[in-house]
């Protein structure tokens, strides 16, 4: 078991510096353009694929880092570059985590490579869980999956929303209800292969922030997928449903559903994204405060500015420590007995919103314009307290974990 450490090893430092260089030289110069265009930055994803950042091998290497710091380190550097482009580069990873968390070895080997494509023909993937009436309340999910035993196919019907890469993805991972009587315990995840009839893109959303990341509805109308596309397989699903029914009758301990398992695995990574955005805004504010003069001296000499910068840096470092602890706990198999994963996501996301707002204040009128990146960073930071579990839901998870109450 890896010891918990705050010191990156030489290999990790080399990867961090490599990612930082890509973020600085490729992502940042393109950030404002793709934010304005509100389109997927395919050329940047292509560049990321060419150098090996957008690839299954790279993310697998970070995912299996025995210290647990590979993924949060990578997320922080890429989102330090730009949150919208960063999400376009890493958004496929949520679908990949969905397969890793719930799929068989054969499914992992078959579908995850198709999510990324190759250097000459890059692809993206989408994880589809939220619905118009089922966001934080996963128990309200209505998308149905019905098994056609004669054809060994599952028939999917419903509408998903807020899907990163939804509709443009090569592979969609869809969470659907297989047993409505079990609520969220009657859910399962399915692979929807490329060009499946019955799957289409619905509304594409025009967003406040992360505009370079494609977000849309995914509509499923009698979309048929082979039985082999049920993640984990039918035998495993049937066993899980039997246990869930028995627990429901006895009032016993609840089991995790497929969507919740995916989100629990990814929340520290989202926290790392927020840390990257906060760090970027802090650095702009610090540089500005040291070079901007008013009343004959740099504004950093004013206590009101200096104390803000001190608080910003302290909060960023504290957020990173929570993220690293949760990531280390996850990779070493230590249970989140105090909801440490949710803690890291909660604190880091709230820190990003606060720090980016303070950065705008320090820059004054300049911070309110698009000539400086902090206004974009502030718009981008708003998403961290919303997606993959709102701050309110994180607090609920933490409180219920501490009190021993069930997490539904």
- 149 vs 88, 175, 191, 233, 266, CA distance in Å? 38, 20, 18, 14, 34
3-state per-residue secondary structure call for 255-279: CCCHHHHHHHHHHHHHHHHHHHHHH
How would residue 262 be classed by pLDDT, with cut points 50, 70 and 90? low
Q: How many CA atoms lie within 13 A of 362 on its CB side?
A: 37
Q: What is the pTM of this model?
A: 0.90
pLDDT of 141 > 50? The answer is: yes
What is the mean pLDDT of the segment spanning 377-385?
Answer: 97
Strands 187-192 and 117-118: unpaired
Question: 25-61: per-residue pLDDT in tens?
Answer: 999 999 999 999 999 999 999 999 999 999 988 988 9
Query: Is residue 226 within a helix (H) or strand (E), and if so which, with residue range?
Result: strand 215-226
What is the mean pLDDT of the segment spanning 88-101?
Answer: 91
User: Is-contact 70 124, C-beta < 8 A?
Assistant: no
Q: How many CA atoms lie within 13 A of 116 on its CB side?
A: 24
User: Mean pLDDT in the chain?
Assistant: 92
Query: Cβ neighbours of residue 377 under 8 Å, at least 6 residues apart?
Result: 83, 277, 280, 281, 284, 356, 359
pLDDT value, residue 140: 80
pLDDT value, residue 135: 64
Instruction: Write out the catalytic residue numbers.
Output: 388
Question: 344-374: per-residue pLDDT in tens?
Answer: 999 999 999 999 999 999 999 999 999 999 9
d(CA 224, CA 196): 7
Q: 4-18, 157-171, 188-202, 352-366: which has the minimum mean pLDDT?
A: 4-18
Question: 175-233: per-residue pLDDT in tens?
Answer: 999 999 888 889 999 999 999 999 999 999 999 999 999 999 999 999 999 999 999 99
d(CA 274, CA 268): 10
pLDDT of 23 > 80? The answer is: yes
d(CA 387, CA 227): 30
pLDDT value, residue 253: 47
């Amino acid at each position: 078991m890896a010891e918990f450490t705050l010191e990156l090893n030489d290999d990790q430092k080399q990867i961090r510096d490599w990612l930082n260089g890509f973020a600085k030289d490729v992502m940042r110069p393109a950030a404002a353009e793709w934010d304005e265009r509100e389109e997927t930055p395919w050329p940047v994803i292509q560049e990321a694929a060419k150098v090996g950042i957008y690839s299954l091998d790279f993310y697998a290497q970070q995912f299996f880092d025995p210290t647990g710091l590979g993924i949060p380190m990578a997320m922080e550097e890429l989102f330090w570059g730009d949150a919208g482009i960063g999400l376009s580069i890493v958004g496929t990873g949520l679908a990949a985590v969905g397969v890793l968390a719930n799929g068989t070895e054969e499914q992992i080997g078959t579908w995850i490579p198709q999510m990324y494509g190759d250097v000459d023909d890059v692809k993206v993937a989408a994880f589809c869980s939220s619905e118009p009436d089922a966001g934080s309340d996963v128990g309200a999910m209505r998308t149905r999956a019905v098994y056609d035993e004669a054809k060994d196919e599952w028939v999917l019907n419903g509408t998903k929303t807020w899907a990163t890469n939804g509709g443009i993805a090569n592979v969609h991972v869809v969470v659907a209800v297989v047993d409505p009587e079990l609520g969220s315990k009657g859910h399962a995840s399915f692979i929807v292969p490329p060009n499946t009839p019955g799957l289409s893109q619905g509304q594409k959303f025009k967003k406040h922030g992360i505009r370079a990341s494609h977000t849309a509805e995914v509509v499923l109308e009698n979309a048929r997928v082979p039985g082999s596309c049920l993640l984990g397989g039918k035998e495993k699903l049937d066993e899980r449903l039997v246990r869930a029914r028995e627990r429901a009758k006895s009032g016993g301990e609840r089991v995790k559903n497929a969507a919740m398992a995916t989100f629990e695995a990814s929340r520290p990574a989202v926290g790392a994204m927020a840390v990257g955005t906060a760090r970027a805004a802090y650095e702009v504010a610090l540089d500005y405060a040291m070079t901007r003069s008013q009343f004959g001296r740099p504004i950093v000499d004013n206590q009101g500015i200096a104390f803000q910068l001190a608080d910003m840096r302290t909060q960023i470092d504290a957020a990173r420590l929570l993220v690293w602890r949760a990531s280390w706990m996850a990779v070493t198999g230590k249970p989140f007995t105090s909801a440490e994963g949710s803690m890291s996501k909660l604190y880091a996301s709230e820190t990003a919103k606060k720090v980016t707002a303070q950065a705008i204040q320090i820059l004054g009128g300049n911070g309110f314009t698009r000539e400086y990146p902090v206004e974009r960073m502030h718009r981008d930071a708003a998403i961290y307290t919303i997606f993959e579990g709102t701050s309110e839901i994180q607090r609920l998870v933490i409180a219920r974990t501490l009190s021993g109450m069930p997490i539904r």
